[in-house]
Amino acid sequence: MKKGISQEGLKLLACITMLIDHIGYVLVYPAYLQASMVDGVNMLGAAMPPEAELLHTIYLGLRILGRLSFPLFAFLLVEGFHHTRNRKGYLLRLSVGALLSELPYNLAVSGSPIWRYQQSIMITLLLGFFALLAMEHCRKLAWKPAVMIPFAILAELLGADYGWGGVVLIVLFELSRYVVNRNLIRFCGMLVLFHYMPSAMLWFGSISVPMQALGALSMVFIAAYDGRKVTNSRAVQWAFYLFYPVHLAVLYGISTIQSVFQIGISIVSR
Per-residue pLDDT of 74-104, as tens digits, reads 999 999 999 888 899 999 999 999 999 999 9
User: Which structural domain range is residue 219 located in?
Assistant: 67-254
What does pLDDT average to over the chain? 88
> Considering the domain boundaries, does residue 85 fall inside one?
yes
When pLDDT is cut at 50, 70 and 90, the band that residue 231 belongs to is: confident
> Considering the domain boundaries, does residue 47 fall inside one?
no
Global pTM reads 0.91
- For residue 62, with 0-12 CB atoms within 10 Å meaning exposed, 13-18 middle and 19 or more buried, which class applies? buried
When pLDDT is cut at 50, 70 and 90, the band that residue 1 belongs to is: low
> Considering the domain boundaries, does residue 77 fall inside one?
yes
> Considering the domain boundaries, does residue 105 fall inside one?
yes
Residues of the chain with pLDDT > 70, as a percent, come to 91
pLDDT value of position 111: 87
> Considering the domain boundaries, does residue 41 fall inside one?
no
Which residue has better confidence, 86 or 13? 13
| CA pair distance 99, 245, nearest whole angstrom | 9
Degrees to nearest 5, angle at CA 90 with 87 and 96:
140
> Considering the domain boundaries, does residue 27 fall inside one?
no
Degrees to nearest 5, angle at CA 18 with 220 and 172:
50
Per-residue pLDDT of 192-215, as tens digits, reads 999 888 888 887 777 888 899 999
pLDDT value of position 218: 96
> Considering the domain boundaries, does residue 133 fall inside one?
yes
Q: In b/e form, how buried is each residue of 101-138, taking b as 16+ CB within 10 angstroms?
A: bbebbbbbbeeeeebeebbbbbbbbbbbbbbbebbeee
Tell me which amino acid residue 195 is.
H
| Tally of domains within the chain | 1
> Considering the domain boundaries, does residue 26 fall inside one?
no
| CA pair distance 148, 50, nearest whole angstrom | 48
